[in-house]
Chains A and B, each alone.
Chain A
Amino acid sequence: AQKVTQAQTEISVVEKEDVTLDCVYETRDTTYYLFWYKQPPSGELVFLIRRNSFDEQNEISGRYSWNFQKSTSSFNFTITASQVVDSAVYFCALKADSSYKLIFGSGTRLLVRP
């Protein structure tokens, strides 16, 4: 079975705080891909990052960084110095190489207060 768990339903921080969104996944496939998408209040789904199962290198993009650890089946997302514009629902998703579909977690709603 394949599954994505985002245990944090909602997180509230004050602007400029760092925040980490957790994502834990389950899959039996040896090749798979992990994603983060952002859903702002306007409703669209915005692609943030993709990680392949064979590439455990962490990645940093501006204020965003991602920590992929196969040993714990986790793909966590950190926003440094959060801003009000970061307020959104963030979804972690999994795609097995044997399938076409993305399996989404239930999302974490991030509220950044000024």
Chain B
Amino acid sequence: EPEVTQTPSHQVTQMGQEVILRCVPISNHLYFYWYRQILGQKVEFLVSFYNNEISEKSEIFDDQFSVERPDGSNFTLKIRSTKLEDSAMYFCASSEPLAGGTQETQYFGPGTRLLVL
């Protein structure tokens, strides 16, 4: 069964460093998403991406964050200068379009646990 994959599974970085989290969405999906989950808290939406542009973003997704689809298979989340409060589990998700423009169910990857020291 096709699945979303994410690398790395864990990342430790120093405050102020840049990190890039990578995702390979399900191959026939066209909508891509990033969410985060701070330890013990709810899952929060960061950004959605369709047709090579951001379709929606949350207040959390400020100028420190960026997303990119550098090739036909990868989808990345970059955090330019990490802060302590960026420590969280980051989930990538993807969905396929339905007729009429709506999107199908979002399927999640296993997550990248980011720890900022």
Q: Within 8 Å CB of B58, what residues of A?
A: 101
Chain A contributes a number of interface residues (CB within 8 A of B) equal to 22
Is the beta-carbon distance between B105 and A47 smaller than 8 angstroms?
Answer: yes
B33 A47 Cβ-Cβ under 8 A: no
Stretch in contact with the other chain, from A11-19, A59-67, A75-83, A102-110 = A102-110
Contact A44 B42 (CB under 8 A): no
Flag whether B68 is at the interface (Cβ < 8 A).
no
Any A CB within 8 A of the CB of B75: no
With CB as the reference atom, state the residue of chain A lying closest to B41: A106
- Bound-state Cα–Cα, A50 to B42, Å: 19
Tell me, yes or no, whether A71 is within 8 Å of chain B by CB. no
Known: A97-B102, A101-B56. A43 touches B108 (CB 8 A): no
A31 to chain B, nearest CB (A): 8
Asked whether, in the complex, the Cβ of B45 is within 8 Å of the Cβ of A103, the reply is: yes
Contact B55 A100 (CB under 8 A): yes
Give the complex CA separation of A105 and B37 in angstroms. 12
The CA-CA distance from A46 to B110 in the complex, in Å, is 9
Within 8 Å of chain A (Cβ to Cβ): is B25? Answer: no
B43 touches A50 (CB 8 A): no
CB contacts under 8 Å to B, within A17-50, are 35, 37, 42-47, 50
Q: Which residues of A contact B (CB under 8 A)?
A: 35, 37, 42-47, 50, 91, 93, 95, 97, 99-107
